[in-house]
Amino acid sequence: MWRKVTSTSFSSLKSSLFFTRLHLQQASKHNAASASAVSRFATIAPLQEKDGRCPFITFVLGGPGSGKGTQCIKIVETFGFKHLSAGDLLRREMVSNSEYGSMILNTIKEGRIVPSEVTVKLILKEMESSDNHKFLIDGFPRSEENRIAFEKISGAEPDVVLFFDCPEDEMVKRVLSRNQGRIDDNIDTIKKRLKVFEALNLPVIDYYAKKGKVHRINAVGTVDEIFEQVKPVFKACEQKAFNRS
Ligand SMILES: Nc1ncnc2c1ncn2[C@@H]1O[C@H](COP(=O)(O)OP(=O)(O)O)[C@@H](O)[C@H]1O
Ligand SMILES: Nc1ccn([C@H]2C[C@H](O)[C@@H](COP(=O)(O)OP(=O)(O)O)O2)c(=O)n1
Ligand SMILES: [Mg+2]
């Protein structure tokens, strides 16, 4: 069964003093960084209603290889969401002659996070050009800087946050056998990505858990078993998402 998590109820959240200090230091750096990212976005309008409906936003979070993309495909089939993968949008931008191409390539290869101004712009552009009003935003926000930039620029918060909680050894095994030719699916990059996930992404999950928005999914099992945990989350808010005005 799925359940909402509290800030202390999932195993992988680190609450030691060391991590608390680290997060506080990172938070002040992120606030400064996101303030400058936001100021460079002055020309981007907040999300607007479409056909009288506000967007219904789900953030899909979890470590690399935890099964976010795989489950998103099933959610789209069953519940009719528009799937926006932050990683896919960045990879598309990387090969599109963009001024950011080499920066994105190097950042992904090193397992780090692309500056929020780039990623938020790509996500909002896709949201604005979509006919759908129900969005799965996969692999975003990956840091407090991402989160703060998105919320400030879009003027929106997620309705639901899914967290695919998966042990590291399982994530490593899945990434190394993913076979999609990705530059970051190698053991060196995956080790760095796991550290970045723990240091930067877990605080985002913690933030939304405190707001009661996180649904923790045990990401170990078959794809169908995992989807059985995901389904009730969306069944419970189907009416809200449909009627959103
Ligand atoms: N429940 C599962 N059990 C085993 N392998 C899985 C499962 N879910 C996804 N995979 C596989 O693991 C790899 C990573 O899954 P993916 O959906 O790309 O994860 P993420 O988007 O979180 O990185 C893919 O090769 C996928 O086919
Ligand atoms: N919000 C994001 C999402 C992805 N990225 C970059 C850094 C990530 O390691 C890569 C790949 O992301 P992606 O979501 O496709 O990766 P996984 O599906 O979790 O394996 O893209 C980012 O910089 N910021
Ligand atoms: Mg993915």
Tokens for 103, please give them. 């920066």
Give pLDDT, residue 16: 27
Residue list, ligand 1 pocket, CB within 6 Å = 62, 64-70, 174, 178, 221-223, 226
Taking phi first (over 0 means left), then psi (-120 to 50 degrees means alpha), and beta for anything else, what does residue 45 get?
Answer: beta
234 annotated to a ligand binding site: no
Report if residue 8 sits inside a domain.
Answer: no
Into how many domains does the chain fold? 1
Nearest alpha carbon, ligand 2 atom 11: 87
Ligand nearest to the CA of 72: 1
At 87, which CATH number?
Answer: 3.40.50.300
Report if residue 1 sits inside a domain.
Answer: no
Cα 71 to ligand 1 centre (Å) = 8
Report if residue 9 sits inside a domain.
Answer: no
State whether the beta carbon of 69 lies less than 6 angstroms from ligand 2.
yes
Report if residue 131 sits inside a domain.
Answer: yes
pLDDT tier, 92 (very low <50, low <70, confident <90, very high otherwise)? very high
Cα 64 to ligand 3 centre (Å) = 7
Q: Give me the mean pLDDT over the 79-108 stretch.
A: 97
Q: 136-155: per-residue pLDDT in tens? A: 999 999 999 999 999 999 99
Structural domain boundaries enclosing 197: 15-41+56-243
Residue 84 has pLDDT above 60, yes or no: yes
Report if residue 74 sits inside a domain.
Answer: yes
Q: 197-245: per-residue pLDDT in tens? A: 999 999 999 999 999 999 999 999 999 999 999 999 999 988 777 777 5
Give pLDDT, residue 24: 32
Q: Give me the mean pLDDT over the 51-73 stretch.
A: 94
Give pLDDT, residue 44: 65
Report if residue 216 sits inside a domain.
Answer: yes
Ligand nearest to the CA of 67: 1
Ligand nearest to the CA of 150: 2
Report if residue 7 sits inside a domain.
Answer: no
Give pLDDT, residue 237: 87
Give pLDDT, residue 1: 24
Report if residue 4 sits inside a domain.
Answer: no
Give pLDDT, residue 40: 53
Q: 19-58: per-residue pLDDT in tens? A: 222 333 334 444 454 455 555 555 567 787 777 778 999 9
174 annotated to a ligand binding site: no
